[in-house]
Amino acid sequence: MTSDKITGKNLRIGIVGGGKRCKTILEMFQRQRPPKVNASVVIVADPDPESPGYQYASELGIDTTTDLEAFCERRDLHFILDLAGARDTIVPLLVRKGSEVPVLDAVASNLLYDVLNIQKELINTRRFLRTVLDSIQEGILVISPEYEILRVNEPLLKKLKRPKEEVIGKYCYEVLYGEDSPGGPPEGLCPVAEVIKTHRPHHTRHTHLDKDGKAIHHAVSAYPVMENGKVSRIVEISRDITQETRTQEMFLEQEKLTSVGKLAAGVAHEINNPLTAVLTNSMLLLEELPENDAMYEDLKAIADETLRCREIVRGLLEFARQDVPAKVESDLNKVVSSVVSLVRKQFSFKDITINQDLADSLPKVNIDKDQFQQVIVNMLINAMEAIERNGEIQVETSYDEQGHTIRLKIKDTGHGIPEEARLRLFDPFFTTKDTGTGLGLSISHGVIQRHGGSISFESQVGMGTTFTVTLPVV
């Protein structure tokens, strides 16, 4: 028999001896055919039909015989394994079949058994490695020094939304960045190129936009696998740190607000007393001056401007007063309608109507009513100022069962918020108004945050703005 025949199609094997080893070999063939061996066992012979290998073979539907004579009759075998290792079988076997097909005696058969066993272990190790790689939630790539992807784990495939076949064998820059050469990611160094160059691990961060335009942040680490002093593979591990980064940004924002708040409180306290003195004195003087006095207008201007300063200082103190809210279980609808009835008249002078669409049987929320009234007043006044004259404000409440939250929306038909203002809207002192303090929204933001809620807005320049406050239900 030539080796050509052995590597050819389906090698038929006959086994003599139905012991444990026979069973193990059958199991191996059953579970996973050893790679590169296209073979199957077609007959098992043993004088004892109760032997485990014999039994298992008949369960699998493989021919079995207790008669060595009958075994030798088979003309279709490509080779024979003698697992019995007894003189009374090997001799007649060799005499009868030795000239037709190779007969592996017990020693050689055991050797083959060991080889198959090692292969089995190899396969198990590979399978284990794959399971380990797939259980790690980080994305893992094994890349060749030629930038070819050799391995990828399941979590990364899921993130890439691609089948394995579209990734393995492709270049990493193609798959990850849609580039046609290894220039690296647009905003930084390519970690794979760095590892190839330096032979050292490389860590970096990547930011790209998802299909909705939201920033996705990744921490990427690439490690060299060294063989004979050369980088033979690069293992790249990437972790989605978007959530962490966002929390960090929010934290920084909060820090900024807190320190500005402290500063504001200090300044406001200092200014408050002298301001009060200026104001009271100018008021007293005003009362004593006749209205046609030459100084009357000037003095009035002083009093008015001082009043305005007082407003700003009051706002600053408010902003700095990051009180723990005195929360009580409340009906948000009631808070909303009391504020609306308070401002309705004032707004109607400017031909601005306020419509309310308040959800029936809204679950209760835990809020500090005073602070919330102020938040709603702030937002309504902002809406009014954005409309200037003639428009509509819609106030809505609703319950989001899934999120277990309550939503308050304030929509206006005002001038909207230009792109360049959007990022800074909640910054303290950010204002686009001549007489604004820029504190309304930052105070509101703080109040809502201390209630465990959030505030966001959508706006179209020239069309209007909608502010949405979300609050957790009790």
Ligand X SMILES: Nc1ncnc2c1ncn2[C@@H]1O[C@H](COP(=O)(O)OP(=O)(O)O)[C@@H](O)[C@H]1O
Sheet with 79-82, edge to edge strand ranges: 63-65, 39-45, 11-16, 79-82, 103-104
In whole angstroms, what is the distance from residue 320 CA to residue 266 CA?
9
| Contact region with ligand X (CB under 6 A), list: 57-65, 271-279, 298-306, 424-432 | 424-432
When asked if residue 417 is in the footprint of ligand X (CB under 6 A), the reply is: yes
Give the long-range contacts of residues 45-48, CB within 8 A, separation 24 or more. 45/14, 45/15, 45/16, 45/17, 45/18, 45/70, 45/71, 46/16, 46/17, 46/18, 46/19, 46/22, 46/84, 48/18
CA dihedral 325, 331, 334, 336 (to 10 degrees): 60
* Partner interacting with residue 405 (select from ligand X, Mg ion, none; CB below 5-8 Å by kind): none
The three-point CA angle 50-54-55 to 5° equals 65
- Nearer to Mg ion by Cβ, of 238 and 378: the residue is 378
Of 139, 191, 438, 453, the one binding ligand X (CB under 6 A) is: 438
Tokens 């063989």, residue located:
227
> At its nearest, how many Å lie between Mg ion and the CB of residue 436?
6
Whether 389 contacts 350, CB under 8 Å: yes
> At its nearest, how many Å lie between Mg ion and the CB of residue 217?
33
- Nearer to Mg ion by Cβ, of 89 and 382: the residue is 382
In whole angstroms, what is the distance from residue 469 CA to residue 57 CA?
71
> At its nearest, how many Å lie between ligand X and the CB of residue 422?
9
| Contact region with Mg ion (CB under 5 A), list: 162-170, 240-248, 286-294, 439-447 | 439-447
- Nearer to Mg ion by Cβ, of 204 and 382: the residue is 382
Tokens of 8: 């050819």
- Nearer to ligand X by Cβ, of 109 and 442: the residue is 442
When asked if residue 436 is in the footprint of ligand X (CB under 6 A), the reply is: yes
When asked if residue 425 is in the footprint of ligand X (CB under 6 A), the reply is: yes
* Partner interacting with residue 383 (select from ligand X, Mg ion, none; CB below 5-8 Å by kind): ligand X
When asked if residue 430 is in the footprint of ligand X (CB under 6 A), the reply is: yes
DSSP state of 323: P
Of 89, 109, 382, 459, the one binding Mg ion (CB under 5 A) is: 382
Residue type, 216: I
Of 441, 447, 448, 455, the one binding ligand X (CB under 6 A) is: 441
Of 117, 366, 373, 431, the one binding ligand X (CB under 6 A) is: 431
* Partner interacting with residue 386 (select from ligand X, Mg ion, none; CB below 5-8 Å by kind): ligand X
Determine how β-strand 365-367 pairs with β-strand 328-330. Answer: antiparallel
Contacts of 459 (CB under 8 A, 6+ apart): 416, 417, 422, 465, 466
- The dihedral sign for the CA sequence 174, 179, 183, 185: negative
Contacts of 286 (CB under 8 A, 6+ apart): 296, 299, 300, 303
When asked if residue 432 is in the footprint of ligand X (CB under 6 A), the reply is: yes
Of 155, 440, 446, 464, the one binding Mg ion (CB under 5 A) is: 440
In whole angstroms, what is the distance from residue 469 CA to residue 417 CA?
17
What's the full length of the chain, in residues? 474
Of 53, 185, 224, 414, the one binding ligand X (CB under 6 A) is: 414
> At its nearest, how many Å lie between Mg ion and the CB of residue 253?
19
414-441 in b/e burial notation, b at 16+ Cβ within 10 A?
A: bbbbeeeeeeebbbbbbbeeeeebbbbb
SS3 147: coil
Give the long-range contacts of residues 60-65, CB within 8 A, separation 24 or more. 60/26, 60/30, 62/26, 64/18
| Contact region with ligand X (CB under 6 A), list: 108-116, 188-196, 319-327, 427-435 | 427-435
| Contact region with ligand X (CB under 6 A), list: 178-186, 200-208, 399-407, 426-434 | 426-434
| Contact region with Mg ion (CB under 5 A), list: 160-168, 277-285, 414-422, 435-443 | 435-443
> At its nearest, how many Å lie between ligand X and the CB of residue 431?
3
When asked if residue 204 is in the footprint of Mg ion (CB under 5 A), the reply is: no
In whole angstroms, what is the distance from residue 129 CA to residue 125 CA?
6
> At its nearest, how many Å lie between ligand X and the CB of residue 297?
27
| Contact region with Mg ion (CB under 5 A), list: 119-127, 289-297, 303-311, 434-442 | 434-442
When asked if residue 448 is in the footprint of ligand X (CB under 6 A), the reply is: no
When asked if residue 433 is in the footprint of ligand X (CB under 6 A), the reply is: yes
The three-point CA angle 468-343-395 to 5° equals 25
Touching ligand X, residues 373-412 (CB under 6 A): 378, 382-383, 386, 412
In whole angstroms, what is the distance from residue 395 CA to residue 343 CA?
13
Site string for ligand X, 312-341 (x = CB under 6 A): ------------------------------
When asked if residue 368 is in the footprint of ligand X (CB under 6 A), the reply is: no
- Chain residues in the site for ligand X (CB under 6 A): 378, 382-383, 386, 412, 414, 416-417, 421, 425, 430-433, 436-442, 465
